[in-house]
C-alpha cells in the first residue's frame, strides 16, 4: 500500500496577504497617476518651440487663482502662449484621453472581453464619415463647429445603428454586436474612401490629417463643449460599476442577481457613443488608448470596476498628455499626428496581449 502525499496546507495568512496588499496597490497607483498627471501637464505647458520655465508656468496658474507665490512670465507673449495655446491643448488632451480610457473600460466590461475598445461599435469610423462630409463639401453652416458637430452626430448615429441591427427578439448578443460593428465599420471605411476620392487635393490632405488624430488648434471653447460630457460620462460610468462587476459573472448569473442585462448594455453603449463621439470630433481618431490603459490598470488592481473606471480615466489622460508632449517636440517646427504615436505603442501591446491570451487561455471564446 502506497501512501499518497497530501497537498501542503495553506495558512490563513497566505490567503489574506494578497487581499491586504490590494488596497496598498490601489493607493500607490492613484498617487502615481495623479502625481504623473500634474508633472506631465506642467511640463507639457512649459516645453515647446518657445520655452517657458516650469516655475513661471506654475506661477502663472497660481496667480490666476489669487495665490501670489511664484513669479509668472514677465513677457506678455509668453503669457498669451500659455493661456491661449498650450493650456487649452493640455486640458483637451486630458479630457479626450480620460474619455477614451473610461470608455475602453466600459466596453471591455460590457462585452466581457479585454480586447474590446470603443471602435468596436463603429463610433470612430462613424465620426470620421461626418468629418469627411464636412471637409469634402465645404460645409460651414455652424462655423468652426461644423466638422466637430457632424462628426459627433454621425458617430452617435452609427453606434445606435449597430445596436439596432444587432438586436433580435429583444436582445443584442455580444458576438452579434461585434460582428455587426465589423460590418458597419467596413461600410464606413468604404464611404470614407469614396469621399477621399471625390475630394480635391486640399480636402484629401485634411481628411488624412484628421484621421491620424491631432490636438492642434485646441481652444477653450472646445474644452467648454466637451468638459460637461466628460463629467457626465465619468459619473454614469461609476454608477454602472457595480452592475458591470456582476455582468462579469455571465449574463444568466447577472440576471439572477437582479441586473437587467439588456438595459445595462444599452446604457453603456449610449454613454460610450456620446462621450467618444464628442472626443474624436475635436481630436480626430486616436486609437489604442481605450485598449491599452484599462488592461494595464486591470493587471495592477484587478477587474473591479469601481477602481478600474477612475484609474482608467486618470491613466488615459496621462497617456494622451504624454503622447501629445512627444508629438509637439519630437521634431522642430513639426507637429506629429498623435494617433500615430498611440498606434506605435498600442499595436505592439495588442500583439503581445494576443500572444499572452493564446498562451494562457487558448484564445477568447
307 shares a domain with 173: yes
* 1 found inside a domain: no
Quick check: is 304 in a domain? yes
Total domains, the chain = 2
pLDDT at 1 over 80: no
Output the pLDDT for position 324. 93
Inter-residue contact 158 to 123 (CB < 8 Å):
yes
Please indicate, yes or no, if residue 248 is contained in any of the structural domains.
yes
State CA 248 to chain mean position distance: 21
Residue 194 confidence (pLDDT) above 60? yes
Residue range(s) defining the domain that contains residue 60: 32-74
Q: What is the pTM of this model?
A: 0.87
Residue 365 banded pLDDT, cuts 50, 70, 90: very low
Instruction: Identify which of 1-5, 18-22, 143-147, 182-186 has the greatest average pLDDT.
Output: 182-186
Are 39 and 185 within one domain? no
Given a cut of 90, whether residue 113 has pLDDT beyond it is no
pLDDT for residue 357: 67
> Are 240 and 281 in a shared domain?
yes
Assigned domain for 6 exists: no
297-330 pLDDT per residue, tens: 988 888 899 999 999 999 999 999 999 999 988 8
Q: Is residue 358 part of a domain?
A: no
In a domain, 262, yes or no: yes
User: Does residue 209 sit within a domain?
Assistant: yes
Mean pLDDT over 52-77 rounds to 83
DSSP state of 144: G
Q: Are residues 67 and 118 in the same domain?
A: no
| 129 burial type by CB count under 10 A (0-12 exposed, 13-18 middle, 19+ buried) | buried
Identify whether residues 58 and 207 lie together within a single domain.
Answer: no
The residues facing 167 across adjacent strands are: 172
Q: At what angle do helices 146-166 and 174-198 cross, to 10 degrees?
A: 140
Nearest to 312 by CA among 325, 330, 300: 300
Examine the domain organization and report whether 180 and 231 are in the same domain: yes
- Quick one: 244 and 106 in the same domain? yes
Residues 202 and 268 reside in one and the same domain? yes
Q: Do 162 and 125 share a structural domain?
A: yes
How far is 51 from 170, CA to CA, in rounded Å? 58
Highest mean pLDDT among 6-20, 46-60, 102-116, 183-197: 183-197
Instruction: State the Cα–Cα distance between residues 231 and 237, nearest whole angstrom.
Output: 10
- Tell me, what CATH number does 106's domain have? 1.10.3470.10
The verdict on 48 and 153 lying in the same domain is no
Residue 130 has pLDDT above 90, yes or no: yes
Question: Worst-scoring range by mean pLDDT, 56-70, 153-167, 332-346, 350-364?
Answer: 350-364
The residue among 3 and 28 whose pLDDT is bigger is 28
Is there a domain that residue 331 lies in?
yes
Mean pLDDT of 71-75: 76
Residue 20's pLDDT band (cuts 50, 70, 90): low
Q: What is the mean pLDDT of the chain?
A: 86
Mean pLDDT is highest, among 32-36, 64-68, 200-204, for: 32-36
Q: Counting Cβ atoms within 10 Å, is residue 128 exposed (0-12), middle (13-18) or buried (19+)?
A: buried
Q: Please, where are the H alpha helices in 52-86?
A: 54-64, 76-81
Whole-number pLDDT of residue 307: 94
Question: Are residues 110 and 70 part of one domain?
Answer: no
Domain match, 230 and 308 both: yes
- What is the 3-state composition of the chain as percent helix, strand, coil, each rounded to the nearest 5? 75, 0, 20
Amino acid at each position: 500500500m502506497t501512501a499518497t502525499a497530501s497537498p501542503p496546507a495553506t495558512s490563513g495568512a497566505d490567503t489574506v496577504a494578497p487581499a491586504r496588499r490590494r488596497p496598498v496597490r490601489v493607493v500607490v497607483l492613484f498617487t502615481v497617476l495623479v502625481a504623473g498627471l500634474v508633472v506631465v501637464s506642467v511640463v507639457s505647458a512649459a516645453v515647446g518651440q518657445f520655452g517657458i520655465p516650469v516655475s513661471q508656468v506654475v506661477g502663472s496658474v497660481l496667480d490666476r487663482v489669487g495665490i501670489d507665490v511664484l513669479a509668472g512670465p514677465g513677457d506678455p507673449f509668453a503669457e498669451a502662449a500659455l493661456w491661449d495655446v498650450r493650456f487649452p491643448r493640455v486640458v483637451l488632451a486630458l479630457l479626450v484621453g480620460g474619455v477614451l480610457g473610461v470608455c475602453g473600460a466600459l466596453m471591455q466590461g460590457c462585452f466581457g472581453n479585454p480586447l474590446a475598445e470603443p471602435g468596436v461599435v463603429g463610433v470612430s469610423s462613424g465620426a470620421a464619415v461626418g468629418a469627411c462630409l464636412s471637409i469634402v463639401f465645404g460645409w460651414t453652416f455652424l462655423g468652426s463647429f461644423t466638422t466637430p458637430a457632424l462628426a459627433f452626430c454621425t458617430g452617435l448615429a452609427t453606434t445606435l445603428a449597430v445596436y439596432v441591427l444587432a438586436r433580435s427578439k429583444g436582445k443584442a448578443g455580444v458576438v452579434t454586436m461585434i460582428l455587426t460593428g465589423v460590418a458597419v465599420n467596413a461600410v464606413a471605411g468604404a464611404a470614407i474612401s469614396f469621399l477621399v476620392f471625390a475630394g480635391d487635393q486640399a480636402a484629401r490632405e485634411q481628411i488624412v490629417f484628421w484621421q491620424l488624430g491631432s490636438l492642434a488648434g485646441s481652444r477653450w471653447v472646445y474644452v467648454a463643449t466637451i468638459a460637461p460630457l466628460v463629467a457626465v460620462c465619468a459619473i454614469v460610468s461609476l454608477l454602472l460599476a457595480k452592475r458591470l462587476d456582476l455582468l462579469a459573472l455571465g449574463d444568466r448569473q447577472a440576471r439572477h442577481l437582479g441586473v437587467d442585462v439588456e438595459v445595462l448594455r444599452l446604457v453603456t453603449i449610449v454613454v460610450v457613443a456620446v462621450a467618444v463621439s464628442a472626443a474624436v470630433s475635436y481630436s480626430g481618431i486616436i486609437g489604442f488608448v481605450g485598449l491599452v490603459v484599462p488592461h494595464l490598470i486591470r493587471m495592477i488592481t484587478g477587474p473591479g470596476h469601481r477602481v478600474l473606471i477612475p484609474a482608467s480615466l486618470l491613466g488615459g489622460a496621462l497617456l494622451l498628455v504624454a503622447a501629445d508632449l512627444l508629438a509637439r517636440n519630437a521634431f522642430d517646427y513639426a507637429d506629429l499626428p498623435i494617433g500615430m504615436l498611440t498606434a506605435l505603442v498600442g499595436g505592439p501591446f495588442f500583439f503581445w496581449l494576443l500572444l499572452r491570451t493564446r498562451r494562457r487561455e487558448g484564445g477568447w471564446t
